[in-house]
Amino acid sequence: MTAPEQPQRTTMSGKSITASQFDRAANLINLEGYMRRILLSPFREVQVEVPVRMDDGRIEVFTGYRIQHNGARGPCKGGIRYHPEADHDEVLGLATIMTWKTALMDIPFGGAKGGVTVDPKKLSRLELERLTRRFTQRISILLGPYRDVPAPDVNTNPQVMAWILDEYSSRHGYTPAAVTGKPVSLGGSLGRDEATGRGVMYVMTEYARDFGLPLKNARVVIQGFGNVGSHLARLLAAEAGAKVVAVSDVNGGVYNDRGLDVPGLLAHAAGGRSVSEWPGGKAITNDELWTIPCDWLVPAALGGVITREANAKTLDCKVVVEAANAPTTPIADLILADRGIPVIPDFLANAGGVTVSYYEWAQNLQQYRWTHEQVNRELQATITRAYAGVRDLAKEKGATLRTAAYAIALQRVAEAERLRGN
């Protein structure tokens, strides 16, 4: 058997991706030089070694990171990622995006991100638990409900958050607000699991109305079928009446021109099988996914997948919605702009997760649970307001949605820094 094809990702650094996009917006709002320096450099970075006892008795040593990019507007907030390519540069880029995301949503958090360089698929469940507990011990000095609050990201989930909560609480007393994305029975919020996908759908709904691209029967292609991609596919099909024609995961994709039966595909994938093995469509490679004509193209897997070299010149879509973080390189972004393909930027499109994480944190601090309907209602109001602000500024300044989103976020963080005396 051959190894599954690994689609190309850019080798461009996460830091340089966020920096080049930052400059355009900083120029738009005439940001002072010293403030650019404060807003681009991380507040605090920690690298730790994570020794883990494996099931066969050996000790394997992994490397972990927690980077707090900015905390001017509130406690640092951001996910923890387990991935073989997670490194300092990627985590720094993602921590930076979190600062802009929380500011754009106007929720009282700063930005952070964590990661461990590991392939979790090669670990047993007990090894994964030991890794999570060890990593939490090593970074726990940085964490806390008013300091830095982790959440799930790629290859981490509510169970991993439960272990983090348990490890943190064993030192500090029961502290549910120390981590979000927990299981509901441990103080997690109703609706958190689907929040990122739901937020993407709300933004698409607003954009669809404003720009005359109805979601009903629209052709949608989604890269990634994990937390974000699978909930988004489900919600788009069930609530927006869209036709999801292709999705993929790390092992390949599946395509059906008449629209995939998303509930059937979800049931298949719930058994741990790749979407490419599902009989309800034609199996496609990860590269072929980018060639499928569609209205909405939604990268919902990893960063750096839309590049000049691979696909930016040939994508056949009307709009790109960045459900993943940093999926488009800056050069690809310019190519798409030249081709007249708008991009709804990551820290607007995928901000539903951190927004509901904020509601989870607030519920934990108040020891009061919201209903699922209340969570969805508040999420829709918050993300719609943020979208409208970006749309209006982009129109006023003749800027892209990304530059407008950056400008709003930079303005808010800079104001907080100034008020704090910087």
HSE-up of residue 6 (Cα within 13 Å, Cβ side): 6
Residue 52 CA to residue 130 CA, distance in Å, equals 6
Q: Closest separation between CB of residue 347 and ligand NAD, Å?
A: 9
Smallest separation (angstroms) from ligand NAD to the CB of 29? 25
When asked if residue 224 is in the footprint of ligand NAD (CB under 6 A), the reply is yes
- Shortest Å, Cβ 265 to ligand NAD: 12
Exposed e or buried b per residue across 253-285, where buried means at least 16 C-beta atoms within 10 angstroms of its C-beta? bbbbeebbbbeebbebbeeeebbbebeebebbb
Tell which one of 18, 205, 350, 363 touches ligand NAD (CB under 6 A): 350
| Contact between 220 and 242 (Cβ < 8 Å) | yes
227 contributes a contact to ligand NAD by CB under 6 A? yes
CA atoms within 13 A on the CB side of 397: 21
Catalytic site includes residue 282 = no
| Using rule CB under 6 A, residue 117 touches ligand NAD | no
Name the closest residue to ligand NAD (Cβ). Answer: 226
Question: Which of 108, 144, 214, 226 is the binder for ligand NAD (CB under 6 A)?
Answer: 226
Residue 243-282 contact track with ligand NAD, rule CB under 6 A, x = bound: -----xxx--------------------------------
User: Beta strands 282-284 and 296-299: pairing type?
Assistant: unpaired
Binding to ligand NAD by CB under 6 A, coded x per residue (else -) over 292-311, reads --------xxx---------
Q: What are 188's two structure tokens?
A: 């997690």
Report how far residue 93's alpha carbon sits from residue 340's, in angstroms, rounded to the nearest whole number. 27
Q: Which of 325, 328, 355, 363 binds ligand NAD (CB under 6 A)?
A: 325
- CA dist., res. 287 & res. 221, Å (int): 13
Which one among 70, 102, 155, 328 touches ligand NAD, defined by CB under 6 A?
Answer: 155
CB of 397 to ligand NAD, least distance (A): 26
Decide if residue 154 touches ligand NAD (CB under 6 A). yes
- Does the footprint of ligand NAD cover residue 349 (CB under 6 A)? no
x/- mask, ligand NAD, residues 157-196, rule CB under 6 A, reads ---------------------------------------x
CB of 185 to ligand NAD, least distance (A): 19
- Contact predicate 123/112, CB 8 Å: no
Which segment (32-40, 121-129, 218-226, 409-417) binds ligand NAD by CB under 6 A?
218-226
Cα diameter, the chain: 62
Q: Which of residues 225 and 255 has its CB atom nearest to ligand NAD in the complex?
A: 225
DSSP 176-239: GGG-SS--GGGTPPTTHHHHHHHHHHHHHHHHHHHHT--STT-EEEEE--SHHHHHHHHHHHHT
CB nearer ligand NAD, residue 97 or residue 407? 97
How is residue 305 written in tokens?
Answer: 């997948």
CA distances, 86 to each of 93, 113, 118, 136, 338 (Å): 11, 11, 8, 17, 31
By beta-carbon proximity to ligand NAD, the closer residue of 167 and 322 is: 322
Q: Could you tell me the end-to-end alpha-carbon distance of the chain, in angstroms, rounded to an integer? A: 58
Exposed/middle/buried for residue 214 (C-beta within 10 Å: 0-12, 13-18, 19+):
middle
Give the H or E element holding residue 63: strand 59-70
Q: Pick the catalytic residue: 15, 77, 101, 113?
A: 113
- Residue 232 and residue 225: Cα distance in Å, rounded? 9
Q: Does 152 engage in binding with ligand NAD (CB under 6 A)?
A: yes
Nearer to ligand NAD, 26 or 356 (CB): 356
Task: Name the segment binding ligand NAD (CB under 6 A); options: 115-123, 124-132, 135-143, 147-155.
Answer: 147-155
Least separation, in Å, of the C-beta of 250 and ligand NAD? 4
The CB-of-227 to ligand NAD minimum distance in angstroms stands at: 4
Beta bridge partners of 387: none
Q: Tell me how crowded residue 38 is: count the other CB atoms within 10 A of its CB.
A: 17
Binding site residues, ligand NAD, CB under 6 A: 6-7, 152-155, 196, 223-229, 248-250, 286, 300-302, 323-325, 350, 353
Active site residues: 113
